[in-house]
Amino acid sequence: MSIHKEGYVSIVIAFLIGLAPALIGDYLQAPIWFNAILFVLGCVLIGLVLNFFRNPTREITLDNNCIYAPCDGKIVVIEDVIEDEYFKEKRKQISIFMSPLNVHVNRNPVAGIVRYFQYHAGKYLVAWHPKSSTENERTTYVIQALNGKDILLRQIAGAVARRICWYVNVGESVQQGEEFGFIKFGSRVDIFLPLDIKIKVEMGQKAIGGKTILATFE
């Protein structure tokens, strides 16, 4: 277990915000019980931030026939939709909602070549809002898998999330299970798959990034 690099600044800020009131109260000779409450609340804040930016080590079982979950969270959508940014035709969509308590590392579901990437500025609707995938701040990321089929991922910022991070460039090769991004403080990832894949998850199921098999190629 380690702390993700995206959390370093936030953790320093959490320490300053969390411990400063208690130190100031002690300096001003506030009652001991009052300082104790401030100290406990500060420790809770620091603990929550440390927990959010945790980055557990995971052994990935490479399998070119499997499409792994790109993140931890809860399966909230499984349906056929028209993807109108890149494919402009029907695809199988699976969406995973990440609460602030989930690990927020985003991982490649397959190995392949990055064929498309686009960042979109936007709103900050709650991540489960139907329009969040088209109106919120988001990225669109397409991997051409080793079998030639394209997989599209969309990182979506939520009402709390205010920063999407990504580490990929068009034309580069990516490995299954390695990090491609991070979303801070609650969010969602959509994945758009070919219609002829075989779904291996169900609504409401908890997914683990790089571990849970969402689907397999037929």
**Per-residue pLDDT tens over the stretch 126-146:** 555 555 565 678 899 999 999
Q: What is the pTM of this model?
A: 0.82
Question: Which burial class, exposed, middle or buried, applies to 154 when counting CB atoms under 10 A from its CB (0-12, 13-18, 19+)?
Answer: buried
The mean pLDDT of the chain is 84
Q: Is 2 a catalytic residue?
A: no
Among 95-104, 148-157, 169-178, the least confident range: 95-104
Higher pLDDT, 173 or 21: 173
In whole angstroms, what is the distance from residue 144 CA to residue 35 CA?
A: 56
pLDDT of 13 reads: 77
Give the pLDDT band of residue 17 (cuts 50, 70, 90): confident
Q: What's the average model confidence in pLDDT over 102-126?
A: 86
Q: How many residues does the chain have?
A: 218
The answer to whether residue 18 scores a pLDDT higher than 60 is yes
Residue given tokens 């392949």 in the structure block? 112
**From 95, 132, 133, 187, active-site residue:** 187
Q: What's the average model confidence in pLDDT over 159-167?
A: 73
Q: For 120-172, what is the HEC assignment?
A: ECCECCCCCCCCHHHHECEEEEEEEECCCCEEEEEEEECCCCCCEEECCCCCC
What do you get for the CA distance between the two ends of the chain, in Å? 35
Out of 55-69, 76-90, 147-161, the most confident range is: 76-90
